[in-house]
Structure 1
Amino acid sequence: MATESNGFSISSLVLGIVSIFASFTFFVPVVGLVLGIMALKREPASRTMAIWGIVLNGVMLAGTVLVTLGTLAFGLVMLPFAFI
């Protein structure tokens, strides 16, 4: 009898919670998102944790991308005023 592991889904959920505080690294949400997707395919018993990990990591990754793009756009708009 093989025991079922739920390491991917737990890791994805933990990284989703950690990404709330460390999403600016861009690395933490990406790894958590990948682990959550892998957990959905490999660990059907822990589907809820995997889905929560995917949601948390996806939201934080999207937020990081939006903040980065907003910062770049603001910097480009303000660039002409840097030389005054």
Structure 2
Amino acid sequence: MSATMTIQTPAPGPRDPDSAPATGVAATATAGTATAGTGLENADAGGDPRIAPRDRGEAARPLAVTSFVLGIVSVVSGWTFFAPLTGLVLGIVALRRGAADRAIALWGVWLNAAMLAIWAVLAFVALAVLGAGLIALPVLAA
């Protein structure tokens, strides 16, 4: 069974926007193998003509997934500083690069940010207890 897909690009020159699209050079894909047409398929959208639109977010997908996994592992195992910090940075980078899985990147950012917030609260409490202990030390020694 053979599947054929044709992508048509507009012919150069002025045309009426209400008219039917002009036929230009066509790219044909047979049996799942894509062949390039003129290379202008993505140029009309203002992007790089060498990169297909569906491939733009695919480069950031591993960053989004890694951020999400680090967030889940941090919550489950109680990792408190380095893993959530790394996951937060990776999630933000994935969002800035336009990750294809934006929801996964957002979950990674929120989970890692929550774990960092918990770490900050615990560090503040530990410093308060340590400070109170140091203040009470001269009283106990007397």
Range class of TM-score, shorter chain: 0.7 to 0.9
RMSD of the alignment, in Å? 1.7
CA distance in 1, matches of 2:110, 2:136: 40
Counterpart code for 1:16: G
Kindly indicate which of the two structures has a greater share of residues assigned to helix: 1
2:129 alignment partner in structure 1: 74
Of structures 1 and 2, the larger Rg is shown by 2
2:79 alignment partner in structure 1: 23
CA distance in 2, matches of 1:12, 1:49: 8
Task: Please list the CA deviations of residues 23-76 of structure 1 after superposition, one character each: whole Å capped at 9, or x if unmatched.
Answer: 33x111110000000010213321000000000000000100110011101110
TM-score norm. by structure 1 comes to 0.86
Counterpart code for 2:124: L
Match for residue 9 of structure 1 among 46, 57, 64: 64
CA distance in 2, matches of 1:67, 1:80: 20
List alignment gaps of at least 5 residues for structure 1.
Answer: none
CA distance in 2, matches of 1:36, 1:9: 5
**3-state SS of 2:100 partner:** helix
**3-state SS of 1:45 partner:** coil
Kindly indicate which of the two structures has a greater share of residues assigned to strand: 2
| Structure 1 residue 80, shift from structure 2 partner | 3.0
CA distance in 1, matches of 2:78, 2:68: 14
| Structure 1 residue 79, shift from structure 2 partner | 1.5
1:40 alignment partner in structure 2: 95
Residue identity over aligned pairs, in percent, reads: 41
- Taking the TM superposition and a 5 Å limit, the aligned residue runs for 1:46-65 are 46-65=101-120
Contact 1:15-1:32 at 8 Å conserved across structures: yes
Structure showing greater relative contact order (alpha-carbon pairs closer than 8 Å, 6 or more residues apart)? 1
Which shifted more, 60-69 or 74-83? 74-83
